[in-house]
A and B are shown apart, each in its own frame.
Chain A
Amino acid sequence: MDNHTKKDAVTRGDKILVWLTLLVLLLGGVLSLMVVFLVDSVMSSM
């Protein structure tokens, strides 16, 4: 954990994992928050 400077140790796959994590977590987070906050209006409209 103490040395994150060796660029040659990072593969394309490692970078894809970062982007994938960011994408999925943002998507999952937004999806969850949408469920949390839109549930009231869905219920009210029924």
Chain B
Amino acid sequence: MNKIIDSLWQAVNADEQNCKLLKAFVFTGLITMAIGAVFALLMLLVRVPAFSALSANTYYQALTGHGIFMFILWFSFIQATFLIMAGTILMKTRLWSVALAWVGFGLMVGAVGFALVGVLAGASITYHGAIPLAEQFSSAWMIYLSFILLTLGMLLTTLDFIMTVIHAVEKKLSLTSWALFFKDIPISTFAAIAGLFIAIPGLVASLKTFLPALLWTLGWGDIHPEMYRMNWHVAFHIYHYIPALTLVGVAYVLVELCADAHSVYSKKLAKGLFLLYPLFVPPTFLYHLLVDPNIPQGIKFVGTTLSLLVGTPTILHMFVIVGMLETRFKSAGYGALGWLRHLPWKNPAFSSMMMGLFTLFIGGLLSYMTLQQTLAPLLHNTFAVPAYVHAIAAGGANLMYMGALYYAMPLLWKRPLWGMKLARIQSYLLGFGLLWMSIFGVAAGLSGVLRRYALAGEELTDASAQMMNLSLGIGGTLSLLAILLFLLIMVMTALHRKPQENSQVMANLIPTIPPATSMIQRSPMALIPPLLFIIGILVMTFFAFHWLRSLSIYNG
């Protein structure tokens, strides 16, 4: 049996209470994903011109539900799962308080309930909970209450993680003890610690945003819509960088599990790179507001300039992660390019990770167009934005999380992964579907298709309708099929057999890579993806400004 998998198996089995807690988080997370997928289907039935099967009202309701369930709730549950895993299974220690985590989980389940009832009762206020819009819907308070409960639940889970970390250090006031602790913990646990200093201010910002909104909907106070919008963007900006950090932390676990690859560069370097996030993330929130006419141009200029740096830590991590694979396979005797062919492409967790990295790469490139101060006002309200966001979030982060669940489900439920053949195609199908959706979606956005607007087919030009048919009709449908396939594999894994008491249930996920026969310390090929990304940014920027010059408004 593989050493790492064996050690994880023992850690999971050493604490039954923790295992139950993790299963509850994963199970509820999968339910939120399923609900989010149903809302996605309803959206497709409106926005794909070839379908145009439902009313506009259904679209706005589904838009609200899809955003909240997929982006907010599913990500919150799965990230809370990873946070607990990072503090327990990966560190081989016990959670400071299982009871506190259960209270946090309960509050988060409450958030799911209020969000679902709120959306079904017709609070079509999107996940922005836009204040002028909320006035029109009597059930809007449920959405704000849902966000508050979710924030409180995550706050308790995070506090539990912090206490677990402090508890694990032998002498709390000794520099040597902390140094040993930081040295011993896996890179992913360090990533979770670094993420705290985005997470805590993000949760505070969330309470500061949604508490006044809730009171206002209940008639107990006044609220300034512009101030709410600004606060919402601060909270949202911090929140949406948690997946950016988490997906990298998960990638470090997956690359060891799937490919038996270890960092040839110092672990301290990889850990140190996570410290760049708290510095790079907070000042860049202004790129969400480049379209806001109330913000002076000078501030926008600073915002857009800082935003160009926001991908730096992730690009550096990608070099380390790809370098881990390159050196491991070259050490096993594979050639300069031959190692790529021998990567474990048939392992669904590995293919999820690689497709996640690839969709993140493409989505990241597309995103750099909308970070430009001049382009943001033109593209912000077009379909180009959700198109590239899906490559980054539903692709990059979500695929990475799915990859982790391909290992976590058999580990926690003690059953072998069901449907290995289906699992092998699922990640490729989702990656392909999302890339197709994103590329044609950006093209639709450039042709003028609006976002968050239930355009019926007859209101679009032929070219725009064609792009939407390609983007959502084909790409969106394929992605949805891949999500359903994933849910089926997860549910069947949990149900189809009786639990087994040995780590053989993981047998089909163990890497079968020849042992290292030499020590390879350099990874020149790993430089290629970051260099391609930087060249890609320049090409995309050139293309974007070329497109801008071609617009009649700029040509006079």
Contact = CB atoms under 8 A, between A and B. Distances in A.
Interface of A: 1, 4-7, 9-10, 13-15, 17-18, 20-21, 24-29, 31-37, 39-40, 43, 46
B33 to A, nearest CB: 29
Contacts of A7: 176
Q: Which of A1, A7, A18, A26 is most buried by chain B, counting CB atoms within 10 A of its CB?
A: A1
Interface stretch (B24-32, B128-136, B166-174, B409-417): B166-174
Contact of A21 (B177, B231, B275): B275
Given A1-B184, A20-B275, A43 B93 contact: no
29 contacts: A1-B93, A1-B181, A4-B177, A4-B181, A6-B180, A14-B180, A14-B268, A17-B271, A20-B272, A21-B275, A28-B197, A28-B279, A28-B281, A28-B282, A29-B201, A29-B278, A32-B202, A32-B278, A32-B282, A33-B204, A34-B282, A35-B283, A36-B201, A36-B205, A36-B235, A39-B230, A39-B234, A43-B226, A46-B294
A31 B93 contact: no
B208 interface: yes
A33 to B, nearest CB: 5
B278 A28 contact: yes
B197 A15 contact: no
A17 B205 CA distance: 28
B175 interface: yes
Contact of B183 (A14, A33, A39): A14
Contacts of B183: 9-10, 14, 17
B279 A24 contact: yes
A25 B296 contact: no
Contact of A9 (B180, B266, B275, B278): B180
Given A25-B197, A39-B234, A17 B279 contact: no
The 10 closest A-B pairs by CB, nearest first: A28-B278, A32-B201, A14-B179, A4-B180, A4-B170, A24-B275, A29-B197, A32-B282, A25-B197, A36-B205
A27 to B, nearest CB: 7
Contacts of B266: 13
Given A26-B197, A32-B200, A40-B230, 12 more contacts: A1-B92, A1-B168, A14-B179, A17-B182, A17-B272, A21-B275, A28-B197, A28-B279, A29-B201, A32-B198, A32-B238, A36-B208
A39 B208 CA distance: 11
B98 to A, nearest CB: 18
Nearest to A34: B282
A21 B194 contact: yes
Nearest to A9: B180
A43 B176 CA distance: 45
Tell me what chain A mostly uses at the interface: helix, strand, loop, or mixed: helix
B301 interface: no
Interface in B26-74: none
B91 A25 contact: no
Given A20-B275, A24-B278, A24-B279, A4 B194 contact: no
Nearest to B178: A18
Contacts of B294: 43, 46
Q: Which of A6, A21, A36, A39 is most buried by chain B, counting CB atoms within 10 A of its CB?
A: A36
A46 B185 CA distance: 46
Given A4-B170, A29-B200, A17 B194 contact: no
Contacts of A26: 197
Q: Which of B208, B282, B296 is most buried by chain A, counting CB atoms within 10 A of its CB?
A: B282
B226 A18 contact: no
B292 to A, nearest CB: 10
A36 B333 CA distance: 52
Nearest to A7: B176
A14 to B, nearest CB: 4
A18 to B, nearest CB: 5
Contacts of B271: 17
B492 interface: no
B12 interface: no
B285 interface: yes
Contacts of A5: 170, 177, 180
A8 B144 CA distance: 53
Nearest to A31: B282
B144 to A, nearest CB: 18
B169 A4 contact: yes
Interface string B260-290: 0000001010011001011101110100000
Nearest to B278: A28
Contacts of A17: 179, 182-183, 268, 271-272
B193 interface: yes
B337 interface: no
Given A35-B283, A36-B205, A46-B295, A18 B275 contact: no
